[in-house]
Amino acid sequence: MAKIQTIDLNFSYRAKHQTIHAVKDVNLLLEPGLMQVIIGKSGSGKSTLLSLLASLQTPEQGMILVDDMDLQKMDADQYRRKRAAVIFQAYNLFPLLTVQENIIYPLLLNKIPKRTAETQAEKVLEQVGMDASFLKRFPATLSGGEQQRVAIARALANQTDIVLADEPTGNLDTKNTERITGLLSSMAHNQGCCVVVVTHDLSVAANADRVFAMDGGTLSGVAP
């Protein structure tokens, strides 16, 4: 069970001639057992906020507490390996690894025996609606939606207590969107995960326990 809290969180991208203040004074409480959705138009700062929660970038000001501990003081790799599974907007599958190898990679890093990891890979792949025939294929031979589902399966396989997903249904049809939305909410409700989903998709937001809206870097409101 994990709780995440952000306190006056700020982040800017600094280029030579321009500074983009992508996250502005965000105060957010994300709780275990809930599916929490962040919506907002393109460029509003959703992915940047998620990357801060994933410890992929460091806050410029403010802080993030995970179970009351300062995220910046934790080892970022360990945090993502053991605590927080990240589903990236651009999938980030390893191109030279098969579907099976992609899914078991984080498990092997966590010293799970290979056989156990392979059984787990088959199970999670089935959960995202793909059969075992996909295990030996390479990401480049899959459709966008299939790659997305493998990325989700990889995150599910690791059974972390935090799941951070950036547009996890961006490339999926209605049926698979429902399947993935159901899986994410069941991870929250049945396993007590703290699930955070960034999306444009209002059908995903409709299944959330909490919805936060982002606008111009600011968390502008909370819808029921």
The least CB distance from residue 179 to ligand ATP, in Å, is 22
Task: Measure the CA–CA gap between 113 and 183, rounded to whole angstroms.
Answer: 25
Angle between helix 99-109 and helix 144-157 axes, rounded to 10 deg: 20
Binding segment for ligand ATP among 45-53, 99-107, 185-193, 205-213 (CB under 6 A)?
A: 45-53
Number of chain positions touching ligand ATP (CB under 6 A): 13
Task: Measure the CA–CA gap between 128 and 190, rounded to whole angstroms.
Answer: 17
The least CB distance from residue 116 to Mg ion, in Å, is 34
Tokens matching residue 223: 């819808």
Q: Name which of residues 120 to 179 contact ligand ATP (CB under 6 A).
A: none
Give whichever of 125 and 205 is closer to ligand ATP, judged by the CB atom. Answer: 205
* Binder among 30, 34, 37, 44 for ligand ATP (CB under 6 A): 44
CB 1 within 8 A of CB 161: yes
Look at residue 22 and give the partner it binds from ligand ATP, Mg ion, none, a contact being a CB closer than 5 to 8 Å depending on partner kind. Answer: ligand ATP
Helices (H), ranges, the chain: 46-53, 76-78, 99-109, 114-127, 144-157, 174-191, 202-205
Residue 129's contacts (CB-CB under 8 Å, 6 or more residues apart) are: 149, 175, 176, 179
The least CB distance from residue 89 to Mg ion, in Å, is 5
* Binder among 6, 47, 148, 185 for ligand ATP (CB under 6 A): 47
The least CB distance from residue 49 to Mg ion, in Å, is 9
CB 168 within 8 A of CB 184: yes
Binding segment for ligand ATP among 43-51, 65-73, 75-83, 90-98 (CB under 6 A)?
A: 43-51
The least CB distance from residue 199 to ligand ATP, in Å, is 9
* Binder among 4, 9, 22, 37 for ligand ATP (CB under 6 A): 22
One-letter amino acid of 128: V
Residue 217's contacts (CB-CB under 8 Å, 6 or more residues apart) are: 21, 22, 23, 24, 26, 44, 45, 48
Residues of this chain that interact with ligand ATP (CB under 6 A) are 13, 15, 20, 22, 40, 42-48, 89
